[in-house]
């Protein structure tokens, strides 16, 4: 859970957050679509495989992500949580989808989930594929090391969550470079570039995920 200890300051900063805030961005690299519910807008959206969702940040909110839309308010959701006040706080939460240390019921967990932020000296939350990563994401409510932040006064950047970041993603662009990212078990994801000669349309391919 995002720390709420600065609730008083949050009330003040929420008055100007719309003017200075960045965006909450979700990149779905999984092989399946995700259903999103934003507590900021109370609206439901679908993020297709390979697609991106963006909304302005304000106050403290959660973006709930489910494979099954019927689970948006119950078990089976991965959450992007943030608080915007004197600085930017954010976290990955698996609390509503884990079974002990097993996150297989959490969207994106098997392919890895990562959060990064711009606009200052901002920590990275990186839960490796299939890992028990309680210092990078919440598995229980008191995993407080999972809360990440930017430096004091740094509250204007974007925060991006990438789900299934280690899944294979291939994009071909006519006459340009072809980049390929592969799953590497127990290692960092590697990227390579090769010359693309033929005239092909853009395409994105994904590995299937259980």
In this prediction, residue 1 carries a pLDDT of 60
Q: Give residue-wise pLDDT tens across range 167-201.
A: 754 443 333 333 333 333 333 333 333 333 344 44
Cα distances (angstroms) measured from residue 82 to each of 11, 101, 155, 186: 14, 23, 11, 29
Confidence of residue 210 (pLDDT cuts 50, 70, 90): very low
Domain ranges of the chain: 7-163, 169-205
Of 1-10, 37-46, 121-130, 186-195, the range with the lowest mean pLDDT is 186-195
Confidence of residue 4 (pLDDT cuts 50, 70, 90): very low
Rg (CA), the chain: 18
Q: How far is CA 67 from the centre of its chain?
A: 15
Going by their DSSP bridges, the two strands 148-149 and 88-93 should be labelled as: antiparallel
Measured between alpha carbons, how far is 206 from 128 in angstroms, rounded to an integer? 18
Q: Give residue-wise pLDDT tens across range 92-120.
A: 999 999 999 999 999 999 999 999 999 89
Q: What residue has token string 């805030």?
A: 21
Measured between alpha carbons, how far is 121 from 21 in angstroms, rounded to an integer? 16
In this prediction, residue 69 carries a pLDDT of 85
Residue 62 near residue 81, CB atoms below 8 Å: yes
Residue 127 near residue 116, CB atoms below 8 Å: no
Within 10 A of 32 (CB to CB), how many other CB atoms are there? Answer: 14
Share of the chain above pLDDT 70, in %: 69
CATH code of 7-163, in short, is: 2.60.110.10
Contacts of residue 106, defined as CB under 8 A and 6 or more positions apart, other chains included, come to 76, 77, 78, 94, 97, 98
């Amino acid at each position: 859970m995002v720390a709420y200890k600065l609730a008083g300051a949050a009330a003040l900063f929420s008055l100007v957050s719309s003017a200075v805030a960045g965006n909450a961005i979700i990149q779905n690299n999984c092989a399946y679509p995700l259903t999103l519910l934003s507590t900021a807008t109370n609206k439901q959206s679908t993020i297709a495989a390979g697609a991106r969702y963006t909304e302005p940040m304000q106050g403290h909110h959660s973006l709930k992500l489910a494979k099954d839309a019927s689970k948006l308010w119950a078990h089976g959701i991965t959450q992007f949580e943030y608080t915007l006040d004197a600085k930017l706080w954010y976290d990955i939460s698996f609390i509503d989808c884990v079974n002990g240390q097993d996150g297989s019921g959490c969207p994106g967990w098997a392919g890895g989930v990562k959060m990064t932020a711009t606009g200052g000296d901002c920590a990275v939350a990186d839960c490796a594929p299939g890992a028990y990563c309680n210092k990078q994401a919440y598995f229980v409510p008191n995993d407080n090391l999972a809360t990440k932040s930017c430096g004091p006064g740094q509250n204007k950047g974007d925060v991006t969550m990438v789900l299934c970041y280690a899944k294979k993603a291939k994009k071909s662009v006519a006459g340009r470079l072809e980049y390929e990212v592969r799953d590497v078990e127990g290692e960092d994801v590697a990227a390579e570039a090769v010359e693309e000669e033929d005239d092909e349309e853009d395409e994105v391919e994904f590995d299937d995920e259980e």
